[in-house]
Structure 1
Amino acid sequence: MKKKLLFIILLLLLSLVLMACTQNDTDESETEDPENEVEEPAESEESSEEEIPTFNEEQAKEVLQDYRDTFMSVIENTEDDGALTDYDSKEALKEEFMTIMSEELADSYVAQYFEEDNGRVNVVPTEAPVWFDEEKDFSFEQVNDSEYEVTQEQSNELIGNVRMIYVITLADDSWIVSEVRSENLNEENNQNGQEDDQASSDENNSDNNQETDTAEITAATAEDLVKEELNISENSDIHVVMDHQNDDGNFVVQVYELVSNGETSHTATIGWYIVDQADGTVEEM
């Protein structure tokens, strides 16, 4: 009897052990089941794409200020004879400019404003670029996600009336000035008003052969008088533009050439002339 009882107990213990092993196998199987594994959400395509940084008017002003400061710091650090103190080659100078300019614009400035001679880089005496003026109104336009244009009208006796266009683009995660363009507003105004000026002149002068000192002097006739004084033909590349009238009412006329250098251009002034509004006398300033 005791042996039979002992045998039954052993069978029960064996059954319990088998059940425990079966349960462990089931748990491991459920754990390893790939269907029960929690998959991490895949990173969306949008988040993997590189985001283009935003750009606004204040940032544009900062870029244009850095553009000016970089150029002027080079110009200001010169010896008495005009040689640069910090750069001994145009290539080194170009690399400095490319921190805030495109390679094309840097090439243009290096060629236009500097010359290399015997291991020295010298400043070429000429008019400086037309800088953006933070104190004046300007327009800010987005061309695309990585390009913007800043447009500003400027006027003085050296450059006349011009519309400056500064193109700012994104390059290697930095905003730089990639191009600078200028448009002469004097020519636009003269073209728009030339017919009116001519009509007014014809109306006030019934005789085409009337002496100049008895005719009314207009902006257009002031320009013609300067051309006649300097023997400048109508087909000449030299520009003769009435800039403004001085306090005496006399016409101030600028005579200049447009000099192109790659993507940029600037005016090279030949001279300034005053045309007396009463008798048409031409006098160089």
Structure 2
Amino acid sequence: MKKLLVTLTTGILLIFAIMIVSQYNTDQSLATGKNNAYKQQSLNNANFEDIKQLVKEEKQTELSHETIVELTDKFMQTLVQEIDGDNKIIHYQTKEELIQAFEKITTKEVALPYVEYYYQEKQDGLYIVPTETPPWFQKENNYERTRLDGNIVEISQQNQTDLYGNYMINIQFKKINNQWKIVKISHVDS
């Protein structure tokens, strides 16, 4: 009888031990599952944050319509300077000063032909040559945008004016030192 009692007690203890180990394993599995779910959620959040950052960086490198309008307007405002009654430029004395003003929105290579064509430097200052402004970008008209390379974007626009008739203007923009600038301008009569 004593042997039977020891066997029953041992069996009950063994069953109890199996139940405890089984419960422990279940708890561990749940904890691991929760931990894995937490890790997966963290990974998903990290991926989402990474994606948001990439989108933000892409938007910063994207040339917006507003930037195109701002740069083309500033180009024309710089080209058409305020003058006195004798066509003398009020704010700049030399072509070099005017070219430096252009360099905020374009390169020297782009500005130079415009300054050479539209301005005459005399001993007493800088004078505008009376003529029409060049065929130019019309912000209210549609245009095509083409990415030529990672940081060069070209816009092409077909326009019509009484003075120039039908023409196509192409303007290339490049991000230089984290700032968009006009790097090439061309127009063709249609």
TM-score category, normalised to shorter length: 0.5 to 0.7
With normalisation by structure 2, the TM-score equals 0.64
Give the equivalent residue in structure 2 for 1:60. 68
Q: What RMSD in Å do the two structures reach over aligned CA positions?
A: 1.9
Structure-1 separation of matches of 2:173 and 2:63: 11
Segments of 4+ moved more than 4 angstroms:
none
Structure-2 separation of matches of 1:176 and 1:68: 14
1:167-246 alignment, distance < 5 Å: 167-185=172-190
Q: Specify the SS of the correspondent of 1:140.
A: strand
Q: Residues 139 and 62 (structure 1 numbering): CA distance in 2 closer, same or farther, change over 3 Å?
A: same
Is the 1:162–1:184 Cα contact (8 Å) retained in structure 2? yes
Structure-1 separation of matches of 2:91 and 2:69: 27
1:130 to 125, 128, 135: 135
Is the 2:93–2:125 Cα contact (8 Å) retained in structure 1? yes
Give the equivalent residue in structure 2 for 1:140. 145
1:267-278 alignment, distance < 5 Å: none
With normalisation by structure 1, the TM-score equals 0.44
Higher helix share: 2
Structure 2 residues without counterparts, runs of 5 or longer: 1-56
Structure-1 separation of matches of 2:94 and 2:70: 28
Cα displacement (A) at 1:65: 2.3
Structure-2 separation of matches of 1:113 and 1:145: 33
Letter in 2 for 1:94: I
Count of residues in Structure 1 that have an aligned counterpart in Structure 2: 133
Structure-1 separation of matches of 2:127 and 2:79: 14
Letter in 2 for 1:71: L
1:46-125 alignment, distance < 5 Å: 53-58=60-65, 59-72=67-80, 74=81, 77-125=82-130
Structure-2 separation of matches of 1:159 and 1:148: 25
Structure-1 separation of matches of 2:175 and 2:63: 13
Which string of whole-angstrom CA distances, capped at 9 and with x for unpartnered residues, describes residues 156-190 of structure 1?
Answer: 221121111011111222111111111221xxxxx
Q: Specify the SS of the correspondent of 2:145.
A: strand
Higher RCO (C-alpha 8 Å, min separation 6): 2
Cα displacement (A) at 1:140: 1.1
Q: Specify the SS of the correspondent of 1:104.
A: helix
Give the equivalent residue in structure 2 for 1:159. 164
Structure-2 separation of matches of 1:64 and 1:141: 17
Q: Residues 91 and 141 (structure 1 numbering): CA distance in 2 closer, same or farther, change over 3 Å?
A: same
Cα displacement (A) at 1:86: 0.8
Cα displacement (A) at 1:146: 1.2
Is the 1:169–1:177 Cα contact (8 Å) retained in structure 2? yes
Cα displacement (A) at 1:62: 2.5
**Identical aligned residues as a percent:** 23
Letter in 2 for 1:138: Y
Structure-1 separation of matches of 2:184 and 2:151: 14
Structure-2 separation of matches of 1:119 and 1:175: 35
Letter in 2 for 1:55: E
Is the 1:89–1:119 Cα contact (8 Å) retained in structure 2? no
